[in-house]
């Protein structure tokens, strides 16, 4: 490419189960090179697994999306928002994240597994009672993680339509900055009110613990707590719902892999890791900005330059995963980057794993003849969403 050429745009499109085709070329032809955002900004795009880990684990790359030059989701920088862990750096990021860690440890999530099994079973009972045909998103893949995160946080599931509507607005890039901010503001105000109510009448849930143990003791402000809760509520159901939906499609499109999964319960944990790698639903990149000069993959990224880390490309890196475009539930995919890496790696990854490990086998055990009622290409893929997925999944059995 000549110096006067405009770098290519960051792909927002993608096929249902695969990354955009550009990544397959770029990872070998231009693994760390400029792209174009919003017509006049040209951050670096990181496509290789090794380089992605390097950037995400390096404190010289900041996650603060209000820094000048940050390669944000919108041309205009967002206003500073309390409690948004994904857009914070140490020491504030460390201070707030530490408050949440006890609720998301492996041991704590293991204690939640019976509740996940109960919720999964109840949803499957309702699905069977309704009978085919059915929209699996409406009746299973969306309500399951939303019910689980609502129970964990202490949020009334009765408010699910309000929650999902505003969470979707907050996560839809193509809706524009005002709509995204309105979605955030609606959830923020809603959770501030709930947090205040929990401080008066606490229960046995994460929100109550934040109100009593952190806000009341001045370790965190009410605004910081509400901001963290918004992030947990949105991320805690959007990504897992998408993974469940696309996981069903991927398994139905690969019947040999589904049969192997059905035949061997011991395959389930590794199969979930492979599905996470293969699908990588966070598909518009993790964004960073260099605060010091740093060399990544033999390229010097200068202070003030933005970086977009393409997780879906890193998880299809042929240098790390043999035959990366093939779904192979027997492969060792545990070193994938679907949950990110470094200090901002997904706090709820153990919970997401538990939900996937429980829900997918239970679904196929209960509905062994489950099938799509049309080709997957006819499903309605989300457009302009930070999380890739499907809005409808018509099935029968």
Q: What are the residue ranges spanned by the domains of the chain?
A: 21-396
Alpha-carbon distance of 393 to 381, in angstroms, equals 10
pLDDT for the residue 4: 55
Residue 235 near residue 346, CB atoms below 8 Å:
yes
Burial class (CB in 10 A: 0-12, 13-18, 19+), 86: middle
Q: Look-up: residue for tokens 């518009």?
A: 284
Q: Which helix (H) or strand (E) holds 395?
A: strand 394-396
Query: HSE-up of 188 (CA within 13 Å, CB side)?
Result: 16
Alpha-carbon distance of 231 to 215, in angstroms, equals 17
Of 238, 231, 233, 239, the C-alpha closest to 275 is 239
Cα 126 to the center of its chain, rounded Å:
27
Enter the pTM of the model: 0.94
pLDDT for the residue 2: 47
Beta bridge partners of 387: 282
* Total residue count of the chain as it appears in this document: 397
Alpha-carbon distance of 82 to 145, in angstroms, equals 25
Burial annotation 372-393 (CB, 10 A radius, 16+ → b, else e): beeebeebebbeebbbbbbbeb
Give residue-wise pLDDT tens across range 280-302.
999 889 999 999 999 999 999 99
CB atoms within 10 A of CB 203: 12
What class is the 21-396 domain? mainly alpha
Burial class (CB in 10 A: 0-12, 13-18, 19+), 178: exposed
Alpha-carbon distance of 342 to 336, in angstroms, equals 13
pLDDT for the residue 385: 73
Alpha-carbon distance of 268 to 266, in angstroms, equals 6
Burial class (CB in 10 A: 0-12, 13-18, 19+), 50: middle
Cα 120 to the center of its chain, rounded Å:
20
Of 32, 83, 79, 61, the C-alpha closest to 343 is 61
**DSSP 8-state assignment for residue 116:** H
Alpha-carbon distance of 350 to 271, in angstroms, equals 15
Q: What is the DSSP string of 142-192?
A: THHHHHHHHHHHT--GGGHHHHHHHHHHHTBGGG-HHHHHHHHHHHHHHHH
Q: Which helix (H) or strand (E) holds 293?
A: none
Pull the structure tokens for residue 350. 């153990």
Residue 127 near residue 139, CB atoms below 8 Å:
yes
Which stretches in the chain have pLDDT values below 70? 1-4, 171-175, 375-384
**Three-class SS of residue 101?**
helix
């Amino acid at each position: 490419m000549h110096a006067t050429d405009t770098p290519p745009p960051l792909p927002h499109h993608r096929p249902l189960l695969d990354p955009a085709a550009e990544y397959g070329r770029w990872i070998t032809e231009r693994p760390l090179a400029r792209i174009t955002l919003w017509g006049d900004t040209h951050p670096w795009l990181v496509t290789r697994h090794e380089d992605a880990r390097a950037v995400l684990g390096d404190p010289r790359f900041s996650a603060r999306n209000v820094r000048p030059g940050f390669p944000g989701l919108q041309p205009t920088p967002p206003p500073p928002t309390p409690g948004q862990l994904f857009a914070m750096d140490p020491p504030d990021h460390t201070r707030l994240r530490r408050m949440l860690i006890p609720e998301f440890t492996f041991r704590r999530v293991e204690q939640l597994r019976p509740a996940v099994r109960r919720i999964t079973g109840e949803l499957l009972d309702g699905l069977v009672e309704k009978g085919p045909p059915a929209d699996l998103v409406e009746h299973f893949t969306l309500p399951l993680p939303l019910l689980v995160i609502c129970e964990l946080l202490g949020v009334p599931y009765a408010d699910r339509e309000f929650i999902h509507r505003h969470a979707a607005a907050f996560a839809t890039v193509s809706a524009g900055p005002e709509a995204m901010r309105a979605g955030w503001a609606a959830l923020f105000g809603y959770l501030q009110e709930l947090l205040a109510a929990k401080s008066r009448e606490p229960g046995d849930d994460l929100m109550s613990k934040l109100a009593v143990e952190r806000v009341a003791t001045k370790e965190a402000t009410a605004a910081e707590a509400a901001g963290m809760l918004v992030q947990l509520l949105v991320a805690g159901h959007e990504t897992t719902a998408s993974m469940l939906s696309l996981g069903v499609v991927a398994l139905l499109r690969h019947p040999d892999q589904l049969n192997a999964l059905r035949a061997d319960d011991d395959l389930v944990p590794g199969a979930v890791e492979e599905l996470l790698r293969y699908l990588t639903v966070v598909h518009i990149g993790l964004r960073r900005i260099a605060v010091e000069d740093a060399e990544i993959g033999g390229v010097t990224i200068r202070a003030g330059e933005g970086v977009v880390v393409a997780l879906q490309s890193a998880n299809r890196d042929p240098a790390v995963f043999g035959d990366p475009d093939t779904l192979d539930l027997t492969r060792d995919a545990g070193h994938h980057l679907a949950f990110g890496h470094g200090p901002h790696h997904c706090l709820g990854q153990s919970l997401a794993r538990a939900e996937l490990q429980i829900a997918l086998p239970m679904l196929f055990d209960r509905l062994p003849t489950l099938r799509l009622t049309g080709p997957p290409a006819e499903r309605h893929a989300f457009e302009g969403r930070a999380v890739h997925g499907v809005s409808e999944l018509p099935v029968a059995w």
